[in-house]
Every structure is written in C-alpha cells, then in structure tokens.
Amino acid sequence: MSLRLKLLLLGLATLVLPWGGCQYAREMESALREGEENSLQAVSQTIAASLQGRTDLLYRESLPPADAPDTPTRGASGHAFLQSGPYDLRPLALTAAPLLDGYSDDWPRDPSAWAYFAKDDRHRFAILSGVYERMLYLLLEVRDEHPLFDAPGTNTLDPATFGDRVWLGFEDSQGEQRAVFLAATGPGAVTARRIETGEYGQQSAPLEPRIHGAWQTMSHGYRIELRVPLSMLGNGFGVLVDDRDARGADPLSYGTLRSDDLHTLGRLIVAAPELTSYLAQFLQPGLKLAVTAPSGRVLARADALGQVTGLGPGTPILARLYRRFVDRPGTRALLESSAPIYDRDHTGVIGKLEVTQTANRWIRLRDHALMRMLNFSLSTSVVAVTLMFAFAAWLALRLSRLRQASESALTRTGLVTSFPDTDSRDELGDVARGFSTLLQRLNEYTSYLRTLAGKLAHEIRTPLTIVRSSLDNLESEQVPPSARVYLERARQGSERLNAILIAMGAATRVEEAIGSAERISFDLVPVLESAVAAYRGAFPERSFGPELPAEGVVIRGAPDLIVQMLDKLIDNAVDFSAAGALIIVRLRLDSQAAVIEVDNPGPALPAHVQGRLFESLWQSRAGANSQPHFGLGLYIVRLIAEFHGGEASAANLPDGSGVRFAVRLSR
Amino acid sequence: MKRLVAIVEDEPAIRDNYAAAFTREGYAVRTYANRAQAMDAFTARLPDLAVIDISLEDEPEGGFELCRQLRALSAELPIIFLTARDSELDAVSGLRLGADDFLTKDLSLPHLIARVNALLRRVDALRKPNTPGELVRRGALTLDAERMQAQWDGQVVLLSLTEFWIVHALARHPGHVRNRQQLMDAANVVLDDNTITSHVKRIRRKFQGIDPKFDAVQTVYGMGYRWVE
C-alpha cells in the first residue's frame, strides 16, 4: 500500500465527524419529536376539554339545560346517540364533495361504512352517506331485478306512470316529519318532489329544489346519488324503496321508513356543521384535527396538513441527500395525538379528538442544523483529505526523489556531490542529510580506494628502491657463485614488484594523461586498423577480425587514449578467451555516436557484475594471465570513454557464446 | 681529478647505496639529507652534477626549490631529479625548472650511472665547441651524439636526456617503427606507456616551437613511433 493511499485512508477517518453529526442530528430530532409530541398532546387535550359535553356540536343533540339534574337514564355513556340503532345513519366526514353523477367512484372505498337493508334476497339496498360542508351526500344502491323508470309524462301523480320510486323521510329542524320522493323517467339527473295536499284535497307534487341528485342503472339494480342540505334535516332520517315490477303495479315497499305514514324509524347521527368551523379555529399549517365518535367514525375534520410541504421542489438536493443518511427507516413523518372528549359530567366519553401534525416543522429545523453541520464537517473532511493527499503526494515525491538520488549515487562511481532535500528541517531532511553524509563518506572512501593503489605504489617505491639499489650494488661485490643464484632470485622478485607498482599507478597516470590530453579531430578507422595489426603481432595465439566501415569516421578526441582504451579491451578479451579464439573489433555508427565493440568468445558475464565491471579496483573474473591485475583495465576504459563524451558497457552476446564490450563515443 | 656528484636524498639507505655506486664508478660523492645542508655546501663549492630527490625530509617539494636555487648559482650544472613520484605534473615542473633529466627511483643503478656519465659527457662536449662529434643528419634535423644536442634547421632544440635518446633512437633509422620497449631501452629508462606518450608529446611540442609544421615523429597506433623525413 503506497504512502499516498495510507494517508488517504487516514484522511477518510475524518468522515467520522459528519457521521457523528448525523448521530447528533438524530438525537436532536428525537428530542424535538418528543417535545413536539408533548405539546401536541397538550393541544389535543385543550381542544378536547373545550369540546367537553358539546354533544350539540358532535351529534347535533341539543344541550340539556345547564341546571338540569343528572337523570339516571342518562348514566355513564348512556347518551342515546351513542347507542346504535339498526336504522340509524352515520354519515362519513367526507374530504371532498362527490360529483353528483350516479357513479360511486368518487366515494371513499370503505365497506364498513355502508348500511344495508334487506326485505328478502331479491329486495335489498345499501346506503353510503357522508357529510361535506353542511351537505349530506347519499349513495344508494338498490338491488332490483327489474329496474323500472317512471313513464315519461308530466303528471308525476298519475299512479299509472309510477315506476320504481324512492322515498326520503326526515324530521325537519322543527321536528316535523317530512317526506320527498325521487322518481326518474330515465338515467341522469333526478329531482325530489314532496306531495302536498291542497285545501280541497287535491294533491300536488312541487319540486324540492334544495335536493339534487342523479340516477343511474347498474347491473341488477340502480344507483342514486343525492345531496341534501343538512339545514333541512333534523334528527330522524330514513329511506323507503318502492319496488315495482310493472308500471302502476302495487309497490313492494321496504326501507327505514314506516311504509304506511313514512315516519322515520332511524336517526341521522351527524356532527353539527359548526363543528368543522369550530375545529378550524385551532387549525395551523401542518396540523390536522379530527373529531371521531367512540366507534372511530370521523365526525368532522379540519385539515391543513398539505399546507406545509415537506419535500417540496424547493428543497435543496444536498438536503435530500443528507436526509437519506439521517432518516431512520420507519420513522413516521406524522405526529399523532388524541384526547378523549368527555360528556358534561366527565363520566362518559362522547368522542375523541385526534390531532395529527406533520413532522415537517421539526424536520425543517433539523435539516437546517443538519445542513450546516454536515456542510461544515464534510468540507472539513474534504479539506483534510485533500491536504493529506497533497501532503502524501509531496512526501512521496520527496521520498522518490531521495530514492532516485540514492540509487543514482550508488550506481555511479563518480558519486553525486549534492543530495536533494538536505535543507528541510523535518525527518526526511534528516534522512537526506544522513544519506548525504553517508554518501560523502562513501565518496571519500571510494576516492581513497581509487587513489590507494597510487599511494601504495608511492609508499612501496622507496623501500623497493632500497632493495633494488642494494641488489645493484651487490652485483659489483664479490659474491660467491652459490649466492649469485639468490641474488638473481631477489632481483627477479624486485622486478616483479616493480611491475606491480607500475600497474598500480596506471589509473592515476591515465587520469593525469586524460587531464592533459588534447582533443583533435581524427579518423578512427586507420587508428583501429593500425592497432589491430599490432594486436595480431602481440597476440599470435588469437585471431582478430576487424569489422570497420569503408569510409572514414572522424571524431574529436585523443587517438592515443583511444588506442590505450582498445589495448585494455583487447587485453581483457585475450584474458577471457581460449587460444585460437577469434576476437572481433567492430566499429559501427549510429545516429549520434561511433560505437567500438570488441567481441570475444568465452564465459558469459555473471548477472551480478553488470554495471560494476567498469568500477575502479573491481575484478570480476580471475584472468588466465599471470600479469598483475588490479581491476583497473576496464576502469581506464571507462575513464577514456567518458573523456570522449561516451560510455562503456558490457553484455553477453545474444547467442551466449561470449561477451561484447561496447564503447560509445559521441561524434 | 674526480668528478664530484652531489646526492640530495633524505632516505639514508638509498643515499648510501647511490653513493656507493657512484664511488665505485670513480666519482667523488657528497651526500646531503636536506635542502639547507645541500645549499650550504653548494654555495661553498658547486658539484659537477647533482642528483636531487624532490621530497626532502619535511619539505614535500624541497627538491624543486633546491633546483631553482642551484640553477641560480650555475646555468650549466647538470641536475637530475630522482623521485619516488612518477606523476606527469612533477616531471613537467621539474624539467621546467631547468633539470636535465627527471627519473623515477625504479631506475636501476647501472642505468642511473649511464645517465650521469652521459650528462657529464655532454657538459664536456659543450665546453669543447670546436670538436665536431658524431653527427646524424636527417633533413632539417641534426643530432650531435657527443653533445647530446639536437638542432632543427640549425636551431638548438633543448631536449632532456631521455628526450634526446628517444629522438636519437627514432631518427637513426627513419621509417622504422620503434615500439615503446625499444625507446625505453634506448633512453635507459623503465617507463609506462603513458609516460612514453607524454615524452613523445613533449618532443613534438619542442620541435614545433621552432617549426610549427614539424611532423616528423609519427604515431603508429598500437605499435610505436617512427621518424618520417
């Protein structure tokens, strides 16, 4: 894992900040929610208390006189409206007015809200009722195998024209029994008429204009949708269906009205229209108030939930994103609270107040804080990660620079004098300084090694001179012939020592020669030709194959040094090849350089010597030659190659049969 | 009268060995260990020839200084530098100070004595200007083996003894390649290739000082040198 990656991961650890922020936001949210729930509870209790005993509002039942004593008949939960009679109608609190078209699709889908009345299997009907804004809506579905409309005509009182008819019977607000009938000559709008008997007994059927409706046939029957103003209605209400199988026939009457006098049997248990406006005064945006009967039926509601848009299009994308991380799944977006509504005596429950509040209010609050916090912490994280990454990159850069410098310092024998980053005051600077010091010492050591041979030669020369001059003097003395053998041996030994000394000083002298060499322009080809001719004489046991270009190759340099360099290469090639071997001396040209190559058959170079061959005092292979050898030959080759702006290299021949030394000389 | 050879050398064993050899050859020998001693003696009496080591006791380059002082006393006195060093720079500075030869200590005693003899012969020959010696003439070059003097177009080329012998060996058989060993033998020295090369370079430069077009000493790469007329 790279340093960059590690520090990047470390930087990612700062993401714990926003994570912690989210946790905090959640804590804050639940605290807010709790507080909000408490206050909502208080609100609902307050409103419920204000509704205590208001059966006039909840059920349109008149209040008992304030001074009326408690009657035993109306004991605990003994309110008449709370007892469910079979013919009672309990309208739903509708949230929207159904369209009066005779179809049921805009009514709530609530099977339990339907009331059913059956004469027998073939004669039954179902009523769904609802209240919306001071209007009672009725949906009446009558099962009838033979639906029959009135005959078209103008006289609705002519019994011969009678088809299926429906009676509505109700108590008006004064408690008078009233009835209207609905008759239609075809599908569509239907009108209600009441039957009035005139002074002289003549009957008329004036239109009841306040009642609107529509009549549609359906399979096995018909459906009627009606709207009646609540102001027309008192407590009693009922429906009677006159089912006729033929026009003018005697009807089969059934329903919730007495069939003889159309007297109501059941009650209409519905909240006063004022209840809604009463609730509305407590309404705030984001709040929904509902009053329900103990049975759970909604009597009235005031709804302003939609007025607060939680996730409207205006919500910033960032906030939506954050919310995804913070919102716990399953958290309700609504707060609900309820409080029972007691009767006047606080003995019975006459209803329940339900208050619902959208979570939006505190979600907004939370979102605001969350946004700020997340923005802060995330940008902190981003900055931290970026800084760490940049820092890591910088460190890695410095490290790689150090590495490169140390590598190049170690591979080149001419050690680097300057090391990067040594001015930094941090630990890397220390490392660089350490390296620099190390290299400096290495440099001193290497140069000491390099000059060691020369110094050694110099130091040995004096005692050797003593030995040799003594031997020279001894020659002139009277030495017995038996001792002369030893004298000769001592002389041979000192000559060899001298040869060694000369070899040891060779590199120093070459360096000096290079220092004083003059560059001239000369043609390499004749120089090499001449040199190869000389090698043929010097090494009769090897054959030489010069491969030289036909035309001249002019370079700038010192021909003496070039020949000296070639001498060393040939010495090397001769050392490591067997007698009779063919040594190839090649001169080829490439784009910027003249390349001298010397190929010799022989053992391949071991891999570890690559790159070290041309160092001073480095000897890779024991040569066959007994001449003193200090690993300076190839070092001299390198010195001369570098003097000519080139470089020396060694490689095994592609077929592995030998070794190729190449020297590039810049042209 | 015996010729007086002064040996200035701080190493007693070498000094004594050299002294013994010169004495055996019939020279009078005085030996000095440092510059002060030598200079005191030289101001009193000049020797016929001085062999001076470059580093003298605590003076690493005391020999050079001594050479300069000695040269101030006498322009003709033959001076041979003898040193354990063999660096090119030393040779150049030694010769520039007016030494007649610059030798390393690995030279054998017979070789050294041969040189001393040769130098003294040259001094003698120069003192007898009218006796023509054995002359070698090669075009513009005239070599006087007796005086060990070379002339080019009639002008004297100031060559050190080693240089003279190298030129002599080359010019005696023009066109023949003399390898380095042959040149060393002729010059009574043991030198490595680079030293020979720099000697040849110096020879060329000295001739070119007189005739910029001088090109008579040719390098035969890998083999040696030859004189071309």
Q: Give me the CATH number covering residue A552.
A: 3.30.565.10
Cα–Cα distance measured from residue A508 to residue A453, given in angstroms and rounded to the nearest whole number: 8
* Number of compact structural domains in chain A: 4
Asked whether residue A413 carries a pLDDT value surpassing 70, the answer given is: no
The whole domain housing A367 covers: 3-55+276-286+298-348+358-372
B7 versus A24: which is more confidently predicted?
B7
Share of chain A above pLDDT 90, in %: 7
Partners of B105 on chain A (C-beta within 8 Å) are: 461-462, 464-465
A387 belongs to a structural domain: no
Residue in chain B nearest A503 by alpha carbon:
B192
Share of chain A above pLDDT 70, in %: 87
A312 versus A258: which is more confidently predicted?
A258
| Distance from the A418 Cα atom to the nearest Cα atom in chain B, whole angstroms | 30
- For residue A451 the two structure tokens come to 């000059």
A389-410 average pLDDT score = 81
CA–CA distances in Å: residue A198 to residues A195, A201, A227, A469, B185: 10, 5, 28, 176, 173
Question: Of A468, A526, A559, which is closest to B108 when you measure between CB atoms?
Answer: A468
A263 belongs to a structural domain: no
Instruction: Say if the Cβ atoms of B192 and A473 lie within 8 Å.
Output: no
Q: At B89, is the pLDDT very low, low, confident or very high (cuts 50, 70, 90)? A: low
Asked whether residue A185 carries a pLDDT value surpassing 60, the answer given is: yes
- For residue A68 the two structure tokens come to 């009326």
Residue A452's pLDDT is what? 77
- For residue A338 the two structure tokens come to 């309820």
Domain boundary among A339, A372, A405: A372
Give the helix/strand (H/E) hosting A179: strand A177-183
Lowest mean pLDDT among A182-196, A265-279, A407-421, A438-452: A407-421
Amino acid at residue number A27? E
Q: At A311, is the pLDDT very low, low, confident or very high (cuts 50, 70, 90)? A: very low
Do A566 and A542 sit in the same domain of this protein? yes
A148-171 average pLDDT score = 83
Instruction: Say if the Cβ atoms of A509 and B109 lie within 8 Å.
Output: no
Amino acid at residue number B89? L
User: pLDDT tens digits, residue range A343-384?
Assistant: 888 888 888 899 888 776 667 777 777 778 888 888 888 888
Asked whether residue A463 carries a pLDDT value surpassing 90, the answer given is: no
Among B16, B106, B178, B225, which would you mutate to test the A interface (most chain A Cβ atoms within 10 Å of its Cβ)?
A: B106
Asked whether residue A138 carries a pLDDT value surpassing 60, the answer given is: yes
Partners of B219 on chain A (C-beta within 8 Å) are: 559-560
Instruction: Say if the Cβ atoms of B219 and A560 lie within 8 Å.
Output: yes
Do A32 and A89 sit in the same domain of this protein? no
A281 belongs to a structural domain: yes
The answer to whether the predicted template modeling score (pTM) of the entire model surpasses 0.80 is no
Asked whether residue A458 carries a pLDDT value surpassing 80, the answer given is: no
A77 versus A203: which is more confidently predicted?
A203
Asked whether residue B50 carries a pLDDT value surpassing 90, the answer given is: yes
Asked whether residue B159 carries a pLDDT value surpassing 60, the answer given is: yes
Number of H helices, E strands in chain A: 12, 24
Asked whether residue A124 carries a pLDDT value surpassing 80, the answer given is: yes
Domain boundary among A469, A504, A539: A504
- Helix boundaries (H) for A258-359: 273-280, 317-326
Instruction: Say if the Cβ atoms of B21 and A512 lie within 8 Å.
Output: no
Residue A335's pLDDT is what? 82
- Contact of A328 with A22, CB cutoff 8 Å: no
A533 belongs to a structural domain: yes
A483-490 average pLDDT score = 90
CATH superfamily of B4-126: Response regulator (3.40.50.2300)
Cα–Cα distance measured from residue B166 to residue B186, given in angstroms and rounded to the nearest whole number: 7
A420 versus A95: which is more confidently predicted?
A95
User: pLDDT tens digits, residue range B173-199?
Assistant: 888 888 888 888 888 776 667 778 888
Residue A72's pLDDT is what? 43
Do A180 and A312 sit in the same domain of this protein? no
A486-510 average pLDDT score = 82
Asked whether residue B215 carries a pLDDT value surpassing 50, the answer given is: yes
Asked whether residue A624 carries a pLDDT value surpassing 50, the answer given is: no
| Distance from the A655 Cα atom to the nearest Cα atom in chain B, whole angstroms | 30
A202 belongs to a structural domain: yes
Instruction: Say if the Cβ atoms of A468 and B223 lie within 8 Å.
Output: no
| Distance from the B132 Cα atom to the nearest Cα atom in chain A, whole angstroms | 35
Cβ-proximal residues to A323 (8 Å cutoff; 6+ apart), any chain: A367, A370
B143-155 average pLDDT score = 85
Asked whether residue B98 carries a pLDDT value surpassing 90, the answer given is: no
The domain segmentation of chain B, as residue ranges, is: 4-126, 132-227
A421 belongs to a structural domain: no
Instruction: Say if the Cβ atoms of B197 and A509 lie within 8 Å.
Output: no
Do A113 and A250 sit in the same domain of this protein? yes
Partners of A461 on chain B (C-beta within 8 Å) are: 84, 104-106
Do A194 and A148 sit in the same domain of this protein? yes
Instruction: Quote the DSSP letter at residue A305.
Output: G
Between A and B, how many CB-CB pairs are < 8 A?
103
Q: What angle do the packed helices A427-476 and B12-24 form, to 10 degrees? A: 30
Cα–Cα distance measured from residue A522 to residue B153, given in angstroms and rounded to the nearest whole number: 29
List, as one string, the DSSP characters of A76-120: TT--GGGS--TT-B--EE-SSPPPSSS--TTS---GGG-EEEESS
Instruction: Say if the Cβ atoms of B220 and A501 lie within 8 Å.
Output: no
Instruction: Say if the Cβ atoms of A530 and B87 lie within 8 Å.
Output: no
Instruction: Say if the Cβ atoms of B21 and A530 lie within 8 Å.
Output: no
Do A129 and A215 sit in the same domain of this protein? yes
Among B221, B223, B226, which would you mutate to test the A interface (most chain A Cβ atoms within 10 Å of its Cβ)?
A: B221
Residue A441: count of CB within 10 angstroms of its CB:
10
- Partnered with residue A224 across adjacent β-strands are A140, A215
Q: At A415, is the pLDDT very low, low, confident or very high (cuts 50, 70, 90)? A: low
Chain B residues bordering chain A (beta-carbon distance below 8 Å)? 11, 13-14, 17-18, 20-21, 24, 84-89, 104-106, 108-110, 190, 192-195, 197-198, 219-223
A174 belongs to a structural domain: yes
- For residue A130 the two structure tokens come to 């609802």
Instruction: Quote the DSSP letter at residue A161.
Output: G
Q: How many CA atoms lie within 13 A of A571 on its CB side?
A: 19
Asked whether residue B8 carries a pLDDT value surpassing 90, the answer given is: yes
CA–CA distances in Å: residue B173 to residues A343, A437, B137, B193, B203: 152, 60, 11, 21, 17
Residue A16's pLDDT is what? 85
Residue B22's pLDDT is what? 92
Burial of A241 (0-12, 13-18, 19+ CB in 10 A): buried
**What are the φ/ψ torsions at residue A185 (nearest 5 degrees)?**
-95, -5
Do A366 and A478 sit in the same domain of this protein? no
Do A50 and A85 sit in the same domain of this protein? no
Q: At A184, is the pLDDT very low, low, confident or very high (cuts 50, 70, 90)? A: confident
CA–CA distances in Å: residue A71 to residues A66, A68, A85, A334, A345: 13, 8, 22, 42, 11
Which range among A86-90, B83-87, B151-155 has the greatest average pLDDT? B151-155
Do A165 and A313 sit in the same domain of this protein? no
Domain B132-227 is in which class?
mainly alpha
Cα–Cα distance measured from residue A516 to residue A633, given in angstroms and rounded to the nearest whole number: 20
Do A107 and A83 sit in the same domain of this protein? yes
User: pLDDT tens digits, residue range A23-36?
Assistant: 887 788 788 888 88
Residue A313's pLDDT is what? 46
Asked whether residue A20 carries a pLDDT value surpassing 60, the answer given is: yes
List, as one string, the DSSP characters of A611-635: TTTTSTT---S--S--S---S-HHH
A210-232 average pLDDT score = 90
Cα–Cα distance measured from residue A619 to residue A633, given in angstroms and rounded to the nearest whole number: 9
Can you state the percent helix, strand and coil of chain B, rounding each to 5?
45, 20, 35
Mean pLDDT of chain A: 81
3-class secondary structure, A554: strand
First to last CA, chain A: 46
User: pLDDT tens digits, residue range B27-38?
Assistant: 999 999 999 999
Residue A374's pLDDT is what? 80
- Helix boundaries (H) for A285-426: 317-326, 360-411
